[in-house]
């Protein structure tokens, strides 16, 4: 290496140190008044974004917590009743540690931050006059990773829907999947939830899944227990079982499509039923759909109730085949 190369290398190293940018901590991001939009790469005031239900002008949808969604966008007059869920299920049966921090301490911090018993908020109320039980996944609660406690809360909500014979169950999904901290108890939630969803179908209760961004792992599988599945908006992303990095490694270095895991792509491939233009239209469109399905079920029930009725035909005029044996006068 000659002296020019050495000088150039030294200059490059100094430039790297000068312009090196460290990623801001999660706390710094939370405390900041600004946020960068991944859709248009513009800096936005969080206060302005909040006024528009976390929707950017470019139509990119940021996360929306369940309490805001339920009170300001979903239930009639913003009134709903939280379904009391048990807290006996241990979210940390393995006494799991992440580095030198206990997972249970992080879990309790998530509870304090969100004001929720678990990552899933379970509520009931009316939406355009229809009786609804709703599940809201809160990504701020540890990425809405599902422990045994979240699984119990889902079952309690479904049992409430069955007992009260509601019109529909609507789930707003956003989750990183099953929590690795919960051993097999977390995985056991999956078949139990699927069986519970089948009970809803047998009872004639409509089930609808609404997908926000970031749904992976076991939660992505659970979505398919619903009668209908929609993406919250056309730009919803990371809707996939395995993340992009894992998928790329499985494909042995092949480049993934640019729209891999995006709502528009999975709609085109028939994996879900459709995507809304905005979360602002979800309430009206799903209640219209539920009413159509309830009317269809009512018509089918009436048809089935009359299917066993025996029909007796009374001749009031002779049949062309029975002219010779007709009991009717010839002038008839």
Is the backbone of residue 170 left (phi > 0), alpha (psi -120 to 50) or beta?
A: beta
The three-state secondary structure class of 24 is coil
Q: Taking 90 as the threshold, does the pLDDT of residue 130 lie above it?
A: yes
Taking the C-alpha atoms of residue 221 and residue 219, their distance in angstroms, rounded to an integer, is 5
Q: Give the N- to C-terminal CA distance of the chain in Å, as an integer.
A: 120
* CATH numeric code, 61-305: 3.90.226.10
Taking the C-alpha atoms of residue 48 and residue 34, their distance in angstroms, rounded to an integer, is 10
Q: Taking 80 as the threshold, does the pLDDT of residue 180 lie above it?
A: no
The pLDDT score that the predictor gives to residue 16 is 59
Taking the C-alpha atoms of residue 166 and residue 134, their distance in angstroms, rounded to an integer, is 11
> For 64-99, how does the pLDDT look when each residue is reduced to its tens digit (9 = 90+)?
999 999 999 999 999 999 998 777 677 788 888 878
The three-state secondary structure class of 126 is strand
Rounded CA Rg of the chain? 28
Question: If you average pLDDT over residues 120-139, what whole number do you get?
Answer: 95
Report percent pLDDT > 70 for the chain. Answer: 82
Taking the C-alpha atoms of residue 53 and residue 59, their distance in angstroms, rounded to an integer, is 11
- According to DSSP, residue 63 is labeled P
Q: Taking 70 as the threshold, does the pLDDT of residue 198 lie above it?
A: yes
The pLDDT score that the predictor gives to residue 323 is 53
Domain ranges (residues) in the chain? 31-60, 61-305
Decide which of 329 and 4 is more confident. 4
Taking the C-alpha atoms of residue 240 and residue 218, their distance in angstroms, rounded to an integer, is 10
Highest average pLDDT, of 74-78, 117-121, 181-185, comes from 74-78
The pLDDT score that the predictor gives to residue 159 is 94
Highest average pLDDT, of 20-34, 52-66, 184-198, comes from 52-66
> For 246-272, how does the pLDDT look when each residue is reduced to its tens digit (9 = 90+)?
777 777 767 777 788 888 888 988 889
Range from 8-17, 74-83, 148-157, 181-190 carrying the lowest mean pLDDT? 8-17
pTM, two decimals, is 0.78
Taking the C-alpha atoms of residue 185 and residue 46, their distance in angstroms, rounded to an integer, is 38
CA angle 80, 191, 266 (to 5 degrees): 75
Helix H or strand E encompassing 121? strand 120-127
């Amino acid at each position: 290496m000659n002296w020019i190369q050495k000088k150039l290398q030294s200059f490059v190293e100094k430039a790297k140190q000068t312009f090196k940018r460290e990623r801001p901590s999660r706390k710094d991001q939370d405390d900041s008044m600004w946020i960068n939009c991944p859709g248009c790469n513009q800096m936005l005031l969080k206060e302005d974004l909040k006024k528009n239900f976390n929707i950017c002008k470019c139509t990119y949808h940021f996360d929306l917590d369940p309490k805001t969604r339920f009170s300001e966008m979903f239930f009639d007059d913003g009134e709903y009743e939280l379904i009391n869920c048990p807290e006996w299920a241990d979210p940390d049966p393995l006494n799991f540690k992440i580095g030198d921090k206990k997972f249970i301490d992080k879990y309790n911090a998530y509870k304090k931050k969100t004001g929720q018993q678990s990552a899933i908020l379970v509520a009931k109320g009316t939406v355009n006059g229809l009786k609804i039980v709703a599940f809201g996944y809160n990504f701020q609660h540890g990425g809405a990773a599902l422990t045994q406690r979240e699984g119990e809360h889902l079952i309690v909500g479904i049992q409430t829907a069955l007992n009260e014979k509601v019109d529909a169950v609507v789930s707003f999904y956003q989750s990183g999947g099953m929590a690795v901290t919960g051993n097999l108890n977390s995985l056991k939630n999956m078949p139990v939830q699927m069986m519970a969803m089948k009970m809803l179908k047998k009872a004639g209760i409509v089930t609808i899944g609404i997908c926000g961004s970031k749904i992976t792992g076991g939660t992505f599988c659970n979505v398919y227990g619903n009668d209908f599945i929609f993406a919250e908006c056309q730009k919803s992303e990371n809707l996939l079982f395995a993340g992009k990095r894992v998928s790329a490694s499985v494909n042995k270095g092949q480049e993934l499509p640019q729209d891999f895991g995006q709502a528009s792509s999975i709609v085109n491939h028939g994996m879900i039923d459709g995507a809304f233009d905005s979360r602002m239209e979800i309430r009206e469109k799903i209640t219209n759909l539920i009413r159509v399905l309830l009317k269809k079920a009512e018509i089918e029930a009436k048809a089935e109730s009359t299917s066993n009725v025996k029909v007796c035909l009374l001749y009031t005029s002779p049949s062309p085949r029975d002219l010779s044996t007709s009991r009717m006068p010839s002038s008839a």
